[in-house]
Every structure is written in structure tokens, then in C-alpha cells.
Amino acid sequence: MLLLRSARVVSPPDQLDAICDLRVVDGRVAEIGVDLPAGDSKVIDCRGRAVLPAFVDLVAELPDPGMSWREDLRSGSLAAAAGGFATVLVSPVNDPVLDQGALAQGLVQRGRGAPGARLLMAGALTMGLDGAELAEIGSLLDEGCVAISDGGRATKDLSILRNALEYARPFGAPVLLRPGIPALESRGCMHEGAVSMQIGLRGIPAASEEVGLAAIIALLRLTGGRVHISHLSTERSVTLLSQARAEGLSITASVAARSLVLTDEQVSLSGYSSATRLLPPLRPESDRRALCRALADGLLDCVSSDHQPWTRVEKEVEFERCEPGAVGFESAFAATLTALEGDLPLVARVLACRPAQILGREVGIRVGAPADLVVVDPNVQRPVGPPRYSRGVNEPLRGQALRGRVELTIVDGVVRHSLTDRPTTR
């Protein structure tokens, strides 16, 4: 039994935002009130702290099996819990790719038994994520996968994409897609614009994402079904998304937390640091502001960690040659809180409530609900350090002074991360 004492409890679905005490018994919220008696409960003093529904991440890579030196399910799960996440949807970028029902069972079980955040599996959309043949979408979902994903590989062949959406529709699970036109991205390694021109790097035009998104929307109109855009990064993409939603299409989207803080200038400022090589790339300031605004306006649904761990071996290479991607679990909350100017109810919505709803999970802080909770200090401001739990080293936010820190993550009523504990794995 746990008693969180004198916290600001914020839960938008329950219209709750008040300073109160919160008791957790047997994995569920048992009592919410003022001056609750301690009884047998372990009391945690939460003065000056806020309690939110624990975060849910729709976009993260844990390449286990296959490249578990980069991150395995255990280190990834602990890193996620340290970032305040209770639930993570894992992209099917492992090796072998999670494209057959037979591969799913073991992985789904390992994910549920992970020591930090619970890990849910997304199955692959196409065999080997090659974009050529359909994966066993139905079997994957039957064996416990909760979504289908292109693993961040924009699908080259639009007829395959169309068929995949048609095929997936009756199974009802969301299909995660990254919008992009591979031919427009082929040699690029950062956002194409003034900065890429200045520092001599070939660019990826925003048009690649926007053409890709327009194609997905047009196909979705044709096929029906549910699509979640896993990586949205430009202002015009927000416009396309809201138009599609206005006409009733079932489409939602995530933005990476770091994209709310960093811009393409960071590539130059960091001296070509390979940690700033991302896909989609960091965009200019106007896009960054538009993304923050879109979250506040509800046009954009979720913030993801877009966690892609790489070790020194893979990232300590020339910018143009390194793999894109960055770690994200442990800095996502602070990046989001900083970008959204400390608006805790909004943070709860974009990091916890909307992503949970997209996965069809119950979310909120109310008596009887599962106790997935995060305790945060919303006031502390400090520079981002290296990841403590993840095996990845590629943190582009490193050194940025961000606001907010996760202190405690509770999954099903059990403390899975506590700031005061030493990391148990590295």
C-alpha cells in the first residue's frame, strides 16, 4: 500500500486538478482525498510534486532480439520507467523482424514481464519491413501484438500500402506509418533549408514528409481503417492532418519530444554531432513552434520518445555516415514540459491520455482505476545529462537546460522507478 501525500493530482479525463492525497492498494487507486490517514501505507511526501497518469509511448525502438547491445527489453524497459512511461509500444525493428505470428508469442510475454515499463509489441506491416509483401498481420495481432507498424520505414510502393491498409482494416488495430518519399530522402541527412546549405549537408526537404502524408491520407480515404502517423514534424503536415480529421478520417499523430525543443540549427551548433542526425530531421523554428501550438490546440495528439538507442560504435562516425535516431525515454518529459511551458494538464493529455486511448487502454486517476502513475517535480530546471539507464549514448538534448524531472513511476501499483534508487543496470 502506498500513500502519495499532498500532491497536485492532474488527470484531464477525470477533470481532476487538485492538491490531495492518493492511496494505492492492490494495483489500483483506492482513495483520493484530503488528509487521508496513513494506516499501514508507505507514505511518500509529494509536496511541490505533481502526480499524472503514467506516460504511454507509441514510438520507440528496442532492437531485441537482433541488436540487443544497443538496447534490450530489460534496459529499455528500465529507461522508459525512468522517463515516467508505464507503457511502451515497441516498433518491430528487431532481427528477425516481428512479421510472423510464431515470433510474437515469446516477445509479447517478455514484454509484459519487463522490470520497468510494460512493453507492448507492434507487429510489422510488411515482411522484413521491406515494403514488398504483407506480414502476417492477423496472426501477429492474435498472438498479442496491439498495433501494426512500418517501423519508421516510409513505404515505397503505394499499391502495397493501399493493400496493407485494406487488409489491416477489419482487424481494427491502428497502423503506424512514417510519412515520407524515400526517393526524396535518399542522400539527405538533415532538414533541407538555410542551415543545410550553410554547413554543406545534403537535405531532406519538408516536401518529402508532406507528399508522403498526403498520399497516406488519400489512401486512407480510399480504404478506411485507422492510421497513426508515427513521426510528424512540419507545420504543413499539421494542416494536412487536421483537414483529414475534419473530413472524418480516423487518423492521429505523434511528434517526437525533442522536436518540440530543438531545431535544425542544433546540427550546426553542435558541430555536426551525430546525435542530431534524425529521421525525420530536426526542422526550423517555425515548425517547432507550430508543433507546440498544434499540441495545445489538440490538432496533434501525442508526444513520443522516438527512442532509438545507438551506442558509441554506431554514433561515433561521420554525420553523413551515422545511423539516424536518438535516445528519448529519459528526456521526453522534461522536453515536453519545457516546450509546453509547464502546462501539466496538457502534458498529461499528450504524453499519457491520448496515446493510451489510441491503444484502447483505460487511462485516468480515479478510484478503482489501475494505478499507472508518475510523480514529477515540475519546477526543477537542470541541464540534460547522459542517459542513466539506456545503453544508447546519442542524446541530442544533452546540455539543454530543461524543466521538470520524473521522480517516481508506478506501474500497476508497483514502484518501477524511483529517482532516489541507484540504477541497477547499465
Partner 1 sequence: MKRKDMLGLRDSTAEEIGLILDTAARFRSVSERRIKKVPTLRGRTIVTAFFEDSTRTRLSFDVAAKRLSADTLGFSASSSSTKKGETLMDTARNLDAMKPDAIVIRHPCAGAPHMLAQAFPWSVLNAGDGINEHPSQALLDMLTMRDHLGSLAGRTVAIVGDVYHSRVARSNLYGLPKVGARVLLAGPGTMCRPQMARPGVELLHRVDDVLAEADVIMMLRIQRERLAPGMMSTSREYARFYGLDLERLERARPEVLVMHPGPINRGVEMSPDVADGDRSVILEQVTNGVAVRMALMYLLLGGEPLPPGGDDAAAS
Nearer to partner 1, 199 or 249 (CB): 199
- Choose which of 53, 83, 123, 193 interacts with partner 1 (CB under 8 A): 193
Q: Which candidate in 306, 343, 372, 377 is catalytic? A: 306
The tally of CA atoms less than 13 A away on the side-chain side of residue 407 is 18
- Choose which of 18, 102, 194, 218 interacts with partner 1 (CB under 8 A): 194
CB of 320 to partner 1, least distance (A): 4
- Choose which of 28, 110, 128, 272 interacts with partner 1 (CB under 8 A): 272
CB of 267 to partner 1, least distance (A): 9
CB of 273 to partner 1, least distance (A): 9
CB of 200 to partner 1, least distance (A): 3
Instruction: Give the CA distances from residue 256 to residues 250, 279, 295, 321, 362, in Å, rounded to whole numbers and listed in that order.
Output: 21, 10, 12, 22, 23
Distance CA 116, CA 80 (A): 7
Residues 6+ apart with CB under 8 A from 29: 22, 23, 365, 366, 367, 368, 369, 370, 371, 373
Q: Scan residues 32-61 and list those touching partner 1 (CB under 8 A).
A: none
Among 30, 40, 144, which residue's Cα sits nearest to residue 92?
144
Distance CA 244, CA 226 (A): 12
Distance CA 140, CA 210 (A): 30
Let me know: does 204 contact 185? Beta carbons within 8 Å. yes
Q: Where are the alpha helices (DSSP H) in 52-133?
A: 73-82, 101-112
Distance CA 405, CA 237 (A): 30
Q: How many chain residues interact with partner 1 (CB under 8 A)?
A: 19
State yes or no: is 21 an active-site residue: no
Q: Scan residues 17-36 and list those touching partner 1 (CB under 8 A).
A: none
Nearer to partner 1, 69 or 272 (CB): 272
Other Cβ atoms within 10 Å of 243 Cβ, number: 12
CB of 271 to partner 1, least distance (A): 5
Is residue 401 exposed (0-12), middle (13-18) or buried (19+ Cβ within 10 Å)? exposed
Nearer to partner 1, 185 or 407 (CB): 185
Task: Tell how strand 118-124 and strand 147-149 pair up.
Answer: parallel
CB of 150 to partner 1, least distance (A): 25
Check residue 269 for interaction with partner 1 (CB under 8 A): no
- Choose which of 44, 78, 108, 201 interacts with partner 1 (CB under 8 A): 201
Among 161, 164, 296, which residue's Cα sits nearest to residue 238?
296
Distance CA 362, CA 17 (A): 19
Nearer to partner 1, 207 or 296 (CB): 207
Is residue 297 exposed (0-12), middle (13-18) or buried (19+ Cβ within 10 Å)? exposed
Nearer to partner 1, 313 or 380 (CB): 313
**Angle (deg, nearest 10), helices 206-223 and 235-246:** 10
H or E segment to which residue 307 belongs: none
Q: Which three cell numbers stand for residue 84?
A: 515516467
- Choose which of 18, 19, 38, 197 interacts with partner 1 (CB under 8 A): 197
Q: Which stretch binds partner 1 (CB under 8 A): 191-199, 223-231, 285-293, 343-351?
A: 191-199
Query: Which DSSP state fits 10?
Result: E
Nearer to partner 1, 173 or 322 (CB): 322
Q: Scan residues 301-360 and list those touching partner 1 (CB under 8 A).
A: 313, 316-321
CA 133 from centroid of its chain's CA atoms: 27
Helix, strand, or coil (residue 177): strand
- Choose which of 16, 199, 369, 419 interacts with partner 1 (CB under 8 A): 199
Q: Which stretch binds partner 1 (CB under 8 A): 142-150, 170-178, 195-203, 384-392?
A: 195-203
Nearer to partner 1, 171 or 272 (CB): 272
Nearer to partner 1, 250 or 268 (CB): 268
CB of 398 to partner 1, least distance (A): 14
CB of 203 to partner 1, least distance (A): 9
Q: Which residue has the cell 510472423?
A: 100
Residues that bind partner 1 (CB under 8 A): 186-187, 193-194, 197-202, 271-272, 313, 316-321
Active site residue ranges: 306
